[in-house]
Amino acid sequence: MKFNWGTGIAIFFSVFVLSLVYQVYRSTQYDHSLVSDQYYADDLRYQEHYNKLVNAQQLEEDLKIQPLADKATLELHFPRQVSALGGEIYFFCPSDQSSDFRLPVEPMGDGIQRIPTEELRRGLWKIKVDWTGDGKAYYKEQDIRL
């Protein structure tokens, strides 16, 4: 069999079409879910969120989110200057939406809330704390690896 320019063009286009078909197949296997199902309503509440961030920056002592050395417990150290705490802690797993969950803010008398994490999926988590105290709203977000 002789290899001429017509054979080269046919091989090139065949490989090109096969690679396109493969890419289309791979793109159908990817999960294209949104980060939030209510993205438009979330966008409208942005000013409220911004005010919470400003309030949190004005605190003398910041909310500290830290996993313990054994990574079996997560500790949230709330500022001592704020009392009457309430709100919500949102555990967001970027790689798996079904792993996300929410907990209420319920610190002990020392201002520390301990959350067991041994049952959680290993990897990156975004901890989003939307909390209130003394009539003001605050927000803190931090990435942790478990």
**In this predicted structure, what is the pLDDT of residue 51?**
92
DSSP 6: H
Determine the Cα–Cα distance for residues 33 and 90; give it in Å rounded to an integer: 19
Chain-wide mean pLDDT for the chain?
90
Q: Which residues contact 1 (CB under 8 A, 6 or more apart)?
A: none
Write down the residue that tokens 């989003």 correspond to: 128
Question: According to the model, what pLDDT value does residue 71 have?
Answer: 75
pLDDT at 63: 93
Mean pLDDT of 75-88: 91
pTM, two decimals, is 0.69
Rounded CA-CA distance 138/55 in Å is 6
Delimit the domains of the chain by residue range.
49-145
Beta bridge partners of 116: 73
Residue 1 clears pLDDT 80, i.e. is over it: no
CATH class of 49-145: mainly beta
42-54 burial, b if ≥16 CB within 10 A, otherwise e? eeeeeeeeeebee
The pLDDT tens digits for 5-40 are: 989 999 999 999 999 999 999 988 887 676 677 878
